[in-house]
Structure 1
Amino acid sequence: MSGRLKAKEGDLIVEKQEEMSIVEHLGELRKRIIYVLVVLVLGLVVGLVCANPIYQYLISVDSAKDFELHAFSFWDGIGMYMKIAMIVSLVATIPFTAYQLWAFVSPGLREVERKAALRYVPYVFLLFLAGLAFGYYVVFPMALGFTTQVTESMGLKETYGISQYFSFLFTLVVPVALLFELPIIVMFLTKLRILNPLRLRKMRKVAYFALVFIAIVITPPDFISDFLVTIPLLVLYEFSVFLSSVVYRKQLAADAAVEARYRFPAEPQ
């Protein structure tokens, strides 16, 4: 009888430990989310301070010089400032979010995996900036030129509001910048053994279709623009597969080394 009671008490202790572990994980996740929200708000404040210089630069480049922008409501000006502030906040928040994600999952990783995953964080920032540059200097001028040609061919006079102009700009540029994070995401998931190059190669047809669809959606409906945006996206995917292969080969080599270390020597015949 006492043995049964002890067994039940042991089961209750294990259940309580598991519940405490789940509660602790949820508390840790909530803390990380609060950190990200704080940085997001601080980024918005910094973005509002920097909004006017950024706005002056954006309207001084060649793509905006041909347009006389107007305000069609009292909120257009502050709305445009808020959009610029949000982009600035994203630039700061995305790498910080990547670090918080690493900090949340790192206790479950080995020391080598923690150090390797931490190296990805600066590249999150760099790839996002590269995506912004590609979207602004390549995708946006193509889209703007195409829409302007269509408007002129219809004999319409171009009168644009500042809100419409910047909404058009950010709708094109931000998705492209986020897509440039694909290699880092794939490497990180491969490091966690969620993805591997074999699975990515099997998904190639579906991934290609999705990327082509995205390229067609965010670019003007002409073949040249679609082609110029689709090719970099497909190259990004193949580059992601290559990086996944590098990480996967290192994992296999590490696993083989561990197995060889703990393998018992064969008994003599």
Structure 2
Amino acid sequence: MAVEKEMSFLDHLEELRWHLVRSFVAIFIVGILVFTFQTFIFDTVLFAHLRPDFPTYQFLCKVFSAIGIDSSFCDLSFSQTLQSLNPTQQLMTAVWTSLILGFIFSFPYILWEFWKFIAPGLHSSERKKSKGFIFVSSFLFFLGVLFSYYVILPMSVYFFYNYQISDLVVNNFKLDGYVSLITNTLLGVAVFFELPVVIYFLSKIGLVTPEFLRTYRKHALVVVLVLSAIITPPDVASQIIVAVPIMILYEISIYVSKFVIKKQQKNVEKNPRV
């Protein structure tokens, strides 16, 4: 049976460099594909929240109508004209958006490259059990993307397009500002949804315990509300809509940490130090 050669620190850095290079190449290739179909991506995906027939608006209209409440969701009208104020703005917006979407679509592959980097340092049993890491992390990430796309972003667009401090002020939004709202929210919420995975690894290395998470639950709620206020419109309803699933993930993370700690304790009992 072949013995694996021990790698030096510089060898590890070189290995990490190639994993990062391949990840960036994947983002770049997917970004090129997104850029190639930029008209479809922008009109169908990124600008979809500017259409009154977006599924979320239709759903909210039906809900309010069913309970006998008149709602503006049933009579929406957005200005679908976005401003490009300099010659390079449309091109640069398309380029940066393509790269961000390239990262989002390439996320499972990036995780796979990360797993390949850390796998040699794991025991064979740990490698088998950690293969689900890519699936779980990707599932949570894309769940966050879908949640932000169909729940948070419609409310954000609705709020900002209808918010007006005076009739003398007209909302004429810039292209890059609108697109940044969409892409930043997609990424921000998707990263939030990775909380159970982050807690899992922090528990594995002993930085987090279930007791710690329970003790600072109230502090975590405050932090979540603050972060929710940053990535959502400044109204209580939107902040709560974002905060609730994140706090649910926080509670799940407590059980994840508890599971990891119990498993480590069992391993110690089975293999006590001599």
Settle same-fold status: TM greater than 0.5.
Answer: yes
- Of 5, 27, 31, 2:14 maps to 27
Change (3 A) 1:95 1:77: same
What corresponds to 2:84 in structure 1? 71
Matched with 1:13 is none
Residue 108 (structure 2) aligned to one of 88, 95, 102: 95
Which residue identity lines up with residue 240 of structure 2 in the other structure? Answer: F
User: Residue 184 of structure 1: CA displacement?
Assistant: 1.8
Percent of residue pairs identical:
27
Structure 1, unpaired ranges of 5+: 1-16, 264-269
User: Which shows bigger deviation, 120-129 or 72-81?
Assistant: 72-81
Tell me if 1:129 matches 2:142.
yes
Query: Structure 2 CA distance, aligned partners of 1:234 and 1:22?
Result: 39
Q: Distance in 1 between matches of 2:125 and 2:216?
A: 29
Q: 2:188 aligns with which of 175, 184, 191?
A: 175
Q: Does 1:42 align with 2:55?
A: no
Separation (CA, whole Å) in 2 of partners of 1:104 and 1:206: 34
Q: Is the 8 A contact 2:137 2:194 kept in 1?
A: yes
The size of the alignment, in residue pairs, is: 244
TM-score by length of 2: 0.78
Say if 2:160 is the partner of 1:147: yes
Q: 1:175 to 1:166 in 2, by over 3 A?
A: same
Q: RMSD of aligned C-alpha atoms?
A: 2.6
**Partners of 1:94 and 1:125 within 8 A in 2:** yes
Query: What 5-or-longer segments of structure 2 have no aligned partner?
Result: 53-77
Distance 1:226 1:60 in 2: 23
Q: TM-score, normalised by structure 1?
A: 0.79
Contact 1:132 1:176 survives alignment (8 Å): yes
| CA–CA separation in structure 1 for the residues paired with 2:126 and 2:23 | 23
**Corresponding residue SS for 2:233:** coil
- Give the structure with the higher percent helix: 1
* 2:68 equivalent to 1:81: no
State the distance in 2 between where 1:126 and 1:119 align: 11
Shift of 1:176: 0.9
Residues 50 and 201 of structure 1: CA distance in aligned 2, closer, same or farther (over 3 Å):
farther
**Partner SS, residue 160 of structure 1:** coil
The separation in 2 between residues aligned to 1:60 and 1:193, in whole angstroms, is 44
Helix, strand or coil: the match of 2:106?
Answer: helix
